[in-house]
């Protein structure tokens, strides 16, 4: 008997900040979901992001049948959430989604709370949540951590499916929140086929690149300190490019100036990762915490050797025994940077095989597994 074609869905992705890995993840998902025939929309904060993010929005806006709706959402829990939440709820109610997919801590709370309110009105909507690290970065022994993990456990009552982007994230959830009470899936971030093409370095390329948000969680300060140690050890100039933006950027500029590295470090505004890769020979990801960072996948897919901290899901990409892994420590990072400079060909040979990466971290695989979770969450309420 011939099977009916899959149902076409109205999908709304809800998240706070349109920057970094979450925004990249949502953009890739929306493109794949639109290609599959679904109607997709985005609801996110209006107060974050800059010119780079606006260009990214404009690139996907024409394909989104449910549009891009932006409203102010504060980062931390506070009285402002009442007004922000009400505005967001009215937007989501107007969009009438079949699937409400929350990303990150704030997006996860909004999606599940407002999806549940729609349920009260007898509207069928599947409520899914992807932490992307989010509140899971907090220390479970602190009062703040206990508050957030208690909230995570409470919100499971209003969740149909949890989507984890790494096994590390899933294990962290179990350790800090508890064994999930709802169905879960492990769905790795995925790259488009074109991103698995190598990016050669320009003739005047810098030795090292940092690209990402300018905040301590991502380790720009460790990168700068490590660069200083490498330069001191070699007794010559070592060059670097730092690409990104954030509230802490002035502090990192001051750190570079204090260490007398100003002539060797260029700060540049956010740009597409592959454009930044052409500016360097090696990429450094010095994060103190991660879930499953796109930048590691993008770097390896572009054929760039990487030095990365063994945090979050990074060892799942490089392999747990990869010599390219370090701890979030400036001295250890500097030693690996020295190894890369002194034996570049040998260091490049430590990177994983590109074909194997593509089979595990392709966008088609990611989109298929997410769609499967959507229909699974809808199944108990179908008909």
Q: What distance in Å separates the CA atoms of residue 297 and residue 82, rounded to the nearest whole number?
A: 38
CATH number at residue 208: 3.40.50.2000
Q: Are 198 and 229 in contact (CB under 8 A)?
A: no
Work out the pLDDT band at 383, boundaries 50, 70, 90: very low
Give the Å distances, CA to CA, from 348 to 123, 219, 303, 319, 339: 54, 23, 9, 15, 11
Q: Model-level pTM?
A: 0.85
- Whether residue 200 lies inside any domain: the answer is yes
Between these two residues, 2 and 274, which has the higher pLDDT value?
Answer: 274
- Whether 3 is covered by a domain: the verdict is no
Q: In this structure, are 214 and 307 located in the same domain? A: yes
Backbone angles phi, psi at 184, to 5 degrees: -135, 160
Number of domains in the chain: 2
Is the pLDDT confidence value at 2 over 60? no
Find the mean pLDDT for residues 43-70: 94
| pLDDT one-digit tens code per residue, 314-370 | 999 999 999 999 999 999 999 999 999 999 999 999 999 999 999 999 999 999 999
Domain presence at residue 30: yes
Tell whether 74 is covered by a domain: yes
Q: CB-hemisphere CA count at 13 Å for 314?
A: 26
Mean pLDDT for the stretch of residues 157-172:
95
Q: What is the pLDDT of residue 381?
A: 57
What element of type H or E holds 287? none
Query: Does any domain span residue 318?
Result: yes
Contacts of 263 (CB under 8 A, 6+ apart): 237
Domain that holds residue 173: 10-190+363-381
* 247 and 328 assigned to the same domain: yes
Region of poorest pLDDT, from 144-148, 181-185, 268-272:
144-148
Condensed to tens digits (0 to 9), the pLDDT of residues 120-135 reads 887 889 999 999 888 8
Residue identified by tokens 């095989």 is 353
Q: Decide if 107 is inside a domain.
A: yes
pLDDT per residue as tens digits for the range 62-71: 999 999 999 9
Give alpha helix (H) positions in the chain: 20-35, 51-60, 80-95, 104-120, 143-155, 167-176, 220-234, 249-258, 273-277, 294-301, 314-318, 330-342, 344-348, 354-360, 363-378
């Amino acid at each position: 008997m011939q099977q009916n074609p899959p149902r076409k869905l109205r999908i709304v992705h809800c998240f706070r900040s349109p920057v970094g890995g979450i925004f990249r993840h949502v953009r890739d998902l929306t493109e794949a979901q639109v290609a599959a025939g679904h109607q997709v929309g985005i609801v996110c904060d209006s107060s974050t992001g800059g010119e780079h993010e606006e260009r990214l929005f404009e690139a996907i806006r024409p394909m989104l049948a449910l549009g891009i709706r932006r409203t102010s959402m504060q980062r931390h829990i506070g009285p402002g959430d009442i007004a922000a939440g009400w505005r967001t709820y009215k937007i989501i109610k107007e969009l009438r989604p079949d699937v409400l997919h929350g990303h990150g801590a704030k997006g996860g709370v909004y999606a599940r709370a407002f999806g549940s309110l729609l349920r009260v009105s007898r509207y069928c909507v599947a409520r899914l949540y992807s932490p992307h690290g989010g509140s899971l970065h907090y220390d479970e022994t602190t009062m703040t951590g206990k508050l957030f993990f208690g909230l995570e456990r409470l919100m499971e009552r209003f969740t149909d499916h949890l989507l984890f982007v790494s096994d590390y994230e899933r294990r962290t959830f179990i350790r800090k929140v508890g064994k999930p009470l709802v169905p879960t899936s492990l769905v790795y971030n995925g790259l488009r086929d074109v991103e698995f093409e190598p990016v050669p370095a320009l003739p005047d390329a810098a030795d090292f690149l940092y690209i990402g948000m300018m905040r301590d969680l991502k380790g720009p300060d460790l990168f700068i300190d490590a660069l200083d140690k490498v330069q001191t050890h070699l007794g010559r100039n070592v060059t670097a490019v730092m690409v990104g933006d954030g509230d802490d950027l002035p502090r990192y500029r001051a750190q570079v100036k204090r260490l007398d590295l100003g002539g060797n470090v260029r700060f540049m505004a956010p740009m597409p990762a592959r454009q930044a890769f052409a500016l360097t020979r090696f990429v450094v990801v010095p994060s103190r915490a991660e879930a499953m960072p796109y930048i590691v996948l993008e770097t390896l897919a572009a054929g760039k050797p990487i030095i990365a901290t063994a945090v979050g899901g990074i060892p799942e990409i490089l392999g747990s025994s990869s010599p390219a892994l370090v701890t979030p420590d400036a001295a250890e990072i500097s030693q690996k940077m020295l190894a890369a400079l002194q034996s570049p060909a040998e260091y490049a040979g430590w990177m994983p095989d590109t074909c194997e990466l593509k089979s595990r971290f392709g966008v088609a695989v990611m989109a298929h597994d997410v769609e499967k979770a959507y229909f699974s969450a809808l199944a108990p309420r179908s008909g």
